[in-house]
Structure 1
Amino acid sequence: MTPVSTTLTFDPRDVPVWRIDHDLPAVPCSHWHPDALKTRFKHPPDWRPEIEREPSFSNRQPAKAAVLIPIVMRGDDLRQSTVLLTRRAAHMSTHSGQVAFPGGKVDPEDANVRATALREAHEEVGLHPHHVQVVGELPVYVTGTAFWVTPVIGLVSTGFELRPNHDEVDDVFEVPLSFLMNPANHRRHHHDWQGASRQWFSMPYQENRTMPNGDVVTIEHFIWGATAAMLRNFYRFLVVNPAP
């Protein structure tokens, strides 16, 4: 089994689930139609993120960062839309081995956080910016490792070719947006770690992948922590009724 992270002293997959949100509605796929997303970001509802920060467990100086939430649009069938995710390389200094969005620290040369997200996605997985249409940003999310992260929502057109940088990522995969925007797949965990009571979401996804030799293997992608929290906030942004 692939480690969730090589820097944690516990395995988050072993932490019991105390709730699954079966009682909450899923986001209708019509809400992630490109025109609907553009309208929602142009006229946002009256809402606030469900999770804004994690308990701090780092002495490093805060750093601004941005991630791209790449929504791959598979033609006219919105049910086929996916989110592109990565598994960070095991040797990375922070969040190693974890499922993540493409992204990283803001460089002084970046015009804004959108430029950071697009640059990092190109550097990490080879996703060229001309395949990405940015439609908006979610509020900043503060990680326990002192990153102030702006999630940037981008619509990815088909026809792109990925060239993962294996110095930064071990794997690139896609998860159906319908899976991620259904709270029946959102599991809540609670754990006391390093003197702090920490709660988080997980969204484990089973992928059936065809290997080069033709064999089909099942891979579990354990989406949790900051990545799951930002997806949960995106869910809240999409499911809430528009402001009058």
Structure 2
Amino acid sequence: MLQTSFTTFTETLEKKLREPLPGEAAHRKMASASRLRQMLKPNERTRKSAVLIVFYPYQGSIYMPLILRPIYDGVHAGQMAFPGGRMERTDRSLIQTALREAQEEIGIRVTDVRVLGKLTELYIPPSNFFVLPVVGVLPHRPEFYPDPREVDRVVEVELRSLMDESIIGINEIEVRGTTINAPFYQIQEFRVWGATAMMISELLTVIDHLV
């Protein structure tokens, strides 16, 4: 039964990703007040990067992995994110970047991933990255092998749990000595905010009523 519904979910999502995307309208719902006020744009030093949003069937439902970044000297230390990173010169495309990074960070085999499409690129001012969210599926729950240098923990998220609007909140968050007001998703014991929350917002708008 699950395989049938997961197949239907996959086929429908692939079609929806070919349609016009909600983009900035969905991003704004989970953007911080400072981001909305500053309206920063990519510049000549902006670097390209990509993340992988990958779904798989598990325990009668549909899941996706997020990662908790370890504490380090960087702007995204200790934050929740999708696996991903900067584009390397050897990458043929940003899709390859997303797949390669996911394999390096959490051990997903790129040959197992079926890419369905892409969401809207999103600019991240603190790190000056322009990020492409790539969407794909796996036929089964993968074995995760997180790289401890990049990943403190892999967090498996049931897709249906993201549909509950009660997990959305707003709070003051301290970022490198500055306090900002930012919306967040309360996912298990983690608050997911910033660019990852904005990507999730667009994703949920695209998959509305699919699960």
Q: Which residue of 2 aligns with 1:5?
A: none
How high is the TM-score relative to the length of structure 2?
A: 0.79
- Larger C-alpha radius of gyration, 1 or 2? 1
Q: Which of 103, 106, 131 is the aligned partner of 2:87?
A: 106
The correspondence of residues 143-182 of structure 1 with structure 2, limited to 5 A, is 143-145=124-126, 146-182=128-164
Which is richer in helix? 2
Q: 8 Å contact 1:164–1:172 — kept in the other structure?
A: yes
Q: Which of 23, 46, 58 is the aligned partner of 1:74?
A: 58
Q: Which of 37, 61, 66 is the aligned partner of 1:85?
A: 66
Backbone CA RMSD of aligned residues: 3.4
Q: 8 Å contact 2:17–2:119 — kept in the other structure?
A: no
Count of aligned positions: 195
Identity of aligned pairs, percent? 29
Deviations 1:33-74 (A, max 9, x none): 0111111123x1563332267455xx9931111000121223
Q: 8 Å contact 1:37–1:135 — kept in the other structure?
A: yes
The 1:199/1:36 distance shift into structure 2, 3 A limit, reads farther
The 1:159/1:175 distance shift into structure 2, 3 A limit, reads closer
Q: 8 Å contact 2:105–2:147 — kept in the other structure?
A: yes
Q: Which of 41, 44, 63 is the aligned partner of 2:17?
A: 41
Aligned residue identity for 1:237: V
1:203 to partner: Cα distance: 1.1
The correspondence of residues 77-226 of structure 1 with structure 2, limited to 5 A, is 77=60, 80-91=61-72, 93-145=74-126, 146-189=128-171, 200-206=182-188, 220-226=189-195
1:157 to partner: Cα distance: 2.2
Flag structure 1 segments of 5+ consecutive residues without an equivalent.
1-28, 207-219
Flag structure 2 segments of 5+ consecutive residues without an equivalent.
none
Q: 8 Å contact 1:73–1:155 — kept in the other structure?
A: no
The 1:166/1:197 distance shift into structure 2, 3 A limit, reads closer
Aligned equivalents of 1:36, 1:112: Cα separation in 2: 25
